[in-house]
Structure 1
Amino acid sequence: MFSEIINVKVVEGEDWDFRGVDTRYMTHGLHPYPARMIPQVAGRLLRRYASRGDVVLDPFCGSGGVLVEARLAGMHSVGVDINPLACLLAEVKSNPLSPDVIWSYWSKLKVAMGNDVRAFKFREIKSVELPDFSGTNIEYWFKPATMMELAIIRKHLEDVEDERVRKFFDVCFSLTVREVSGTRKGEFKLYRMPKEEWEKYFPDVFGVFVKHVEDAARKMGEFYNACDKSVFSRVFMADTRDMLTERFPRDANELLLSMPPKIIVTSPPYGDSRTTVAYGQFSRLSSLWLNFEKGFDKKTIMKVDEMSLGGRLGEISKLDLPTLNMTLEAISKSDGRRAMECASFFLDLYKCLENMYRCLKEDGYCCIVVANRTMKRVQVPTHIIIAEMGVQVGFKNDVTIIPRTIPSKRLPWENAPENIPGLKGKTMSKENIIIMKK
């Protein structure tokens, strides 16, 4: 049993809530994504624990908010995610593209697309070839006319030869797909809108796409003018559990070994993608329409949540961590399978932490933002479990925890774990930032 006393410093009295601030400035506002870390948190961590010219790693980069902030702070960045849509968003958001180039392409594309859409509406074009959607239920989410208009836009995007420009338009197309689908608005999971609303729903697909392109071009222009163009932002579609092994992309391994990150800033998935934050469900419709891009194969798209941390229940080897074991015991009293799912997630996260420690520069910092979930009415103190894991994999036994909100729930046991003295219920907040040093 891992029994080392964990030295935790809880920082209170400093405002990390950033209430009321704009979190969608510049390219942060290009496309929604579930459970985004707000950019102000990432920006402050980067400027506090790293310097211009350093390398930043986000091993669960999602839509790339940390990478955008790294670029704005004059730092190189590397992002990793298993979700093809996340990788597309992160790549486009963090790499500046000249607004002059965008508007030059768009002025021609807008006319060509508009002509074809009008020809379809006036029945001058009788049919449009749709992508191969076999094995999916995509027709449930779109009306036939909507699918035809999307297919026209998609065909024009495929013909854009400049990859960076095409991917910029892909992001706008993804947003359009979400908006014109029959999903309930404001939801990240897939729920169809009520029947009476669906029957009256006839979106202006091309009009929506035009709006998103022109909004995105303005946001990219702001980013282009503000960011440091002398640094790189690289995004890899890969699994952090495989980092620095032969299963990880060779060029990613070479980059991390030749330019080790000085800082890791990340927010890992919630550990219950199928029921809590369904990244795969959120991405599915857009991703199926983007299957002309590399990495957007149907098999991957349909299994994103299953491939996430804890998504597969294999053989669970026990991690000797007091807080985790107490949590699993409390959950298993209500539901043994849910306890196994929780264990599976933390086992996967442990593998990732080992790899993150290995690739980090000596004296580098690892900053992890987590929310504490509830399973079977048991609060899972993820921040404490990560602190225990971090010390076990080799980080210095001097962990800083910054609570971001006021707590609403207590731990499943009466007092703080015995191996972390002084950690009381008041620090068990809804979200915490864990900071560890190599």
Structure 2
Amino acid sequence: MKKLLDRFALRRGDAVIDAFCGSGTTLVECLKNGIDAVGIDANPSSCFSARVKTNWTLKSGRLLDLLDDVEKRQRLRLRSDTKYLSHTTTRYLQSTGMLKRGWISAEPLRKSIAIKSSIENLPTSASYKNALTLALISEIVLGASNVKFGPELYCVTEKEDADVFAGFEKRVRKMGSDLNAIASLNPGGVEIFQGDSRKCYELLKPTITGRFSAGICSPPYPTEHDYTRNARLELVFLGLVSDRESLRAIKEKMIRSHTKNIYKDDDDAALVTRHKAIKRIVKELERKTKDIDHGFGRLYPTVISEYFGGMRRHFKSIRRLLKPNAMCAYVVGDQSSYLQVHIPTAKILSSLAKEVGFETDAIEHWRTRWSSATSKAVNENILILRKTNGRR
């Protein structure tokens, strides 16, 4: 990431937009280098994480004092609290079958809720509560739960118990150490918006037209990867999903990149009906799926059309936020997840960006990774774009 900041000759006073910011990797790098940044993400749990990671005003001493307070409170709760089964988190995990399928076991869940409730009742500001909550959720997902990622989420043998507080404490102390390490820096400013990256301009308001010197991001790939499933525990413990409708509301703000977030009213595909490469891929998938009798398989061609149509909308929207000749970097991967049909993601995105007012500076190989879906190596590339002059 630092190499891209240097390549684009970004310096203090410049501003970067990451329209698919995730948990904030690009934003943190901008902060470290004194560059202002704005992040957008459809996933509210990612926005929560990014906001915590980019809040460098917290004091490590205060954070560690609160850790001691949490330890005492959660101990008392564990002795007396018999109501965790009625907690909204537990009820959601039960109603969705996540408990039955073994996402997290009963005793680690009980301990996690005791810590969560203790944090919520601390006599402190939301900023400190959020930092402690992020540490807890990280420990739940990566330590106390029974889920692993490879790259899709799956459940392993259930843990009967886990020392949730010990893992939580370790993460909070690491936060304190990190805060001490950055105390002497003069960071840039960061803002984070939760919303649809296909509507960057509308989301950030027209008052910042032409503000950004660069865009750096890694959007979703057209593959069968449900980002809300991988973040489901975070969404649940943060209280961001309570039923099917609240989950769907998040998915509807996302670029269509898999069959489980395709909806009847989607219409991004209409923007790419004449694109030759996309038409070729769609026809090949239609040929291969004509005899498939399960619903998701028949949606493969739709995913491709909706994905690239959505990315075209994104390019057109973000262009209005960029300064003349601004540079953008998109980290994207080629795919063959759908019935071994090759999708040269970067090349197609390059041509779509050209249609709305960008020129391609380069498509550079970033890394090669192994696809467990196809048992083949796939390339990930960095698509470097430059905003062209003129109105679009």
- Regarding TM over 0.5, the answer is yes
Distance 1:201 1:389 in 2: 51
Match of 1:431 in 2: 380
For 1:267, the equivalent position in structure 2 comes to 218
What is the identity, as a one-letter code, of the residue corresponding to 1:337? L
CA offset digits 1:198-254 (Å, max 9, x no partner): 2x63112222222222223223433x236433x211111111122233xx3xxx326
Are positions 1:317 and 2:270 aligned together?
Answer: yes
TM-aligned CA deviation for residue 307 of structure 1: 4.3
1:153 is aligned to 2:142: no
Instruction: Please state whether the residue corresponding to 1:79 is helix, strand or coil.
Output: strand
Cα gap change, 1:406/1:208 in structure 2, threshold over 3 Å: closer, same or farther? closer
- For residue 408 of structure 1, report the CA deviation from its aligned partner: 9.3
Per-residue Cα deviation, 1:386-425 (whole angstroms, up to 9, x for no partner): 11011100113x431111236999xxxxxxxxxxxxxxxx
- Alpha carbons 2:335, 2:378 under 8 Å: kept: no
Letter in 1 for 2:190: S
Q: Which among 125, 148, 173 is matched to residue 214 of structure 1?
A: 173
Aligned to 2:238: 290
Does 2:339 align with 1:376? yes
Match of 1:238 in 2: 195
Counterpart-to-counterpart distance in 2, 1:146 and 1:72: 36
Which of 149, 161, 176 is the aligned partner of 2:139? 176
1:57 match: 17
Deviates most, 101-110 or 71-80: 101-110
Alignment of 1:309-388 (within 5 A): 309-310=255-256, 311-313=261-263, 314-315=266-267, 316-317=269-270, 319=272, 320-335=274-289, 337-374=299-336, 375-388=338-351
Alpha-carbon deviation of 1:376?
1.5
Partner residue in 2 for 1:20 = none
Query: How many Å separate the matches in 2 of 1:108 and 1:149?
Result: 16
SS in 2 for 1:139: coil
- Quick one: distance in 1 between partners of 2:28 and 2:207? 19
| Deviation (angstroms), 1:342 | 0.7
Q: Which residue of structure 1 aligns with residue 54 of structure 2?
A: 94
Q: How does 1:19-98 map to 2 (within 5 A)?
A: 42-49=1-8, 50-96=10-56, 97-98=58-59
Paired residues of 2:141 and 2:147 also in contact (CA < 8 A): no
Offset at residue 188 of structure 1 (A): 5.2
Assess if the C-alpha contact under 8 Å between 1:52 and 1:74 holds in 2: yes
Shift of residue 255, structure 1, vs aligned partner: 6.2
User: In the TM superposition, what whole-angstrom CA distance separates every residue of 1:276-312 from its partner, at most 9, and x where no partner exists?
Assistant: 3x32111111221111xxx555543466456421132
Percent of aligned positions that are identical:
21
Q: Which residue of 2 aligns with 1:253?
A: 205
Offset, 1:187: 4.2
* 1:64-115 deviations in Å (ceiling 9; x for gaps): 1000011111100100001111001111112213323322322333333334
2:381 maps to a residue whose letter is N
Local SS of the residue matching 1:433: strand
Equivalent runs, 1:126-145 vs 2, <5 Å: 126-128=82-84, 130-131=87-88, 133-134=91-92, 135-140=95-100, 141-145=103-107
Answer yes or no: is the 8 Å Cα contact 1:174–1:287 preserved in 2.
no
Per the alignment, do residues 226 and 333 of structure 1 end up closer, same or farther by CA in structure 2, a change over 3 Å counting?
farther
Q: Find the residue that maps to 1:173 and give its secondary structure.
A: helix
Q: Check conservation: 1:288, 1:301, Cα contact below 8 A.
A: no
**Distance across 2 between alignment mates of 1:101 and 1:170:** 15
Question: Over aligned residue pairs, what C-alpha RMSD do you find?
Answer: 2.6
In the superposition, the TM-score normalised over structure 2's length comes to 0.82
- Higher-RCO chain (CA-CA 8 Å, sequence separation at least 6): 1
Pairwise CA distance, 1:338: 1.2
TM-score where L is the length of structure 1: 0.74
Per-residue Cα deviation, 1:47-72 (whole angstroms, up to 9, x for no partner)? 22122221110001011100001111
In structure 1, distance between residues paired with 2:88 and 2:51: 24
Distance in structure 2 (CA, Å) of the matches to 1:285 and 1:406 = 29
Q: 1:151 to 1:205 in 2, by over 3 A?
A: same
Contact 2:19 2:200 in 1 (8 A): no
Match for 1:402: what amino acid? E
- In 2 relative to 1, CA 325–408 (structure 1 residues): closer, same or farther, beyond 3 Å? farther
Ranges in structure 2 where 5+ consecutive residues have no aligned partner: 290-297, 372-376, 388-392
Structure with the higher fraction of residues in strand conformation: 2
Native 8 Å contact 2:19 2:197 kept in 1: yes
Q: Mind listing any 5+ residue stretches in structure 1 that lack a counterpart?
A: 1-41, 410-427
* Aligned counterpart, 1:9: none
Q: Runs (4+) of structure 1 moved beyond 3 Å?
A: 114-117, 124-129, 179-182, 184-190, 254-257, 295-307, 405-409
Matches of 1:302 and 1:191 in 2, distance apart? 21
AA of the residue aligned to 1:300 = S
